[in-house]
Amino acid sequence: MNRRILLVVSAILLWFGAFQVGAESVRLTNQFPPSHFISKGMKYFADKVKEYSKDQLIVKVFDSAQLFKDTEVVEAVQGGLVELALVPVNKWSGMVSAADVFEIPFAFKDLQSIKAFVQSGAGKLFDEAFAPKGVKTVFWVDYGFVQFFNNVRPIKTPADFKGLKIRTFSALTAETVKALGGSPVEMSSSEMYMALQRHTVDGVTTGMPAAISRKLQEVLKYLTICNYATAEFFVQANSKWWDKLSQDKKAVLLKAGEETEEVIRKAIDEEEMAALEKLKKAGLQVYEITSQDRQAFIKATESVRTSFATNTGSLGKQLVELIAKIQK
């Protein structure tokens, strides 16, 4: 009887295995840990690809930078060292200077405006810019917005920045703080807590979930919710690998990617709401800018947008024009 059971089980396993014949295994490198909402989004993508391809495409997600760090992914996907990669858009800025567009101050009011920006022409413009670089964008990945925190006073108008030393994380965010009247101090996120504790800086610019993860609520008093900048990612494919795929497999990846975009966007809303509640509970005074406030901030940082459009060529100019359209 035991021998008969063994034969039946073996036959079943062989039957299931037959459906894997011809299946293509695909690697996706991701720098976030498995618990992060973006990593969960990557798993959702892999599951949908498997489902829609009827097991003919199997995406294996390598979390926690097991394959490549975020500083290495551009070269990795360009060189075909990996088929798919989660790439921070700004990591392309060395080759495509306009890739810093998501750090333009007060360009995007909410996540839907980012979606509108990409779909209204920015996605196509970036596709054209990246094609000669050997990559194809499969789908976009929102990360959430960057806010202003400080320990001196509530920030409600550009004038409130005067005299404040604010931690920034890039050239464009530093330019923004300067345009608002503050003094930028560029430093890594890991240094923020100590800098606030020692009063090296008066405030920081970071996201609400990031602030909670680094326990910044312990050393901060004020939060201004203004969605002044955002971090944006996308999943890109190596062009040579992509071009060899059948049209059916390309369609599967694009369909799964489109659905994943929305799943991650919803997860961001949940993460940010949860973080905001924790910050309030910790005692931070929260001010959310009004539409009228936002116009004042946009006007105060006009020089940053002008500089971006001037220094990033034709692509930068076109992207700024698209931003102006979605802001109306």
Full-model pTM: 0.86
For position 23, what pLDDT does the model report? 86
Contact 304, 175 (CB under 8 A): yes
Instruction: Give the DSSP letter of residue 102.
Output: G
Helix axis angle for 291-300 and 302-311, nearest 10°, is 50
Q: Cβ of 241: how many Cβ atoms within 10 Å?
A: 16
- In the chain, the domains with their CATH numbers are 2-327 (3.40.190.170)
Please tell me whether residue 20 adopts helix, strand or coil conformation: coil
Say which residue the tokens 């990612």 belong to.
Answer: 233
Token pair of 299 as six digits: 């006007």
Measured CA to CA, the distance from residue 181 to residue 206 in angstroms comes to 18
Sequence letter at residue 50: K
Q: What's the rounded Cα separation, in Å, for the pair 40 and 284?
A: 30
The answer for 68, left when phi > 0, alpha when psi is -120 to 50, beta otherwise, is: beta
pLDDT at 21: 55
Nearest residue to 188 (alpha-carbon basis) of 209, 208, 210: 210
Residues 6+ apart with CB under 8 A from 303: 179
Nearest Cα neighbor of 298 from 227, 247, 249 is 227
Q: What is the pLDDT along the chain (328 residues), one digit of tens a residue?
A: 444 444 334 434 443 443 455 689 999 999 998 988 999 999 999 999 999 999 999 999 999 999 999 889 999 999 999 999 999 999 999 999 999 999 999 999 999 999 999 999 999 999 999 999 999 999 999 999 999 999 999 999 999 999 999 999 888 999 999 999 999 999 988 899 999 999 999 999 999 999 999 999 999 999 999 999 998 999 999 999 999 999 999 999 999 999 999 999 999 999 999 999 999 999 999 999 999 999 999 999 999 999 999 999 999 999 999 999 987 7
Evaluated on CA atoms 35, 37, 41, 44, the torsion sign reads positive
* pLDDT of the residue at 277: 97
Q: Strand 84-88 to strand 222-238: parallel, antiparallel, or no bridges (unpaired)?
A: antiparallel
The DSSP secondary-structure symbol of 306 reads H
d(CA 113, CA 46): 27
- pLDDT value for 19: 43
Specify the long-range contacts of residues 68-76, CB closer than 8 Å, at least 24 apart: 68/29, 68/31, 69/31, 70/31, 73/29, 73/31, 76/29
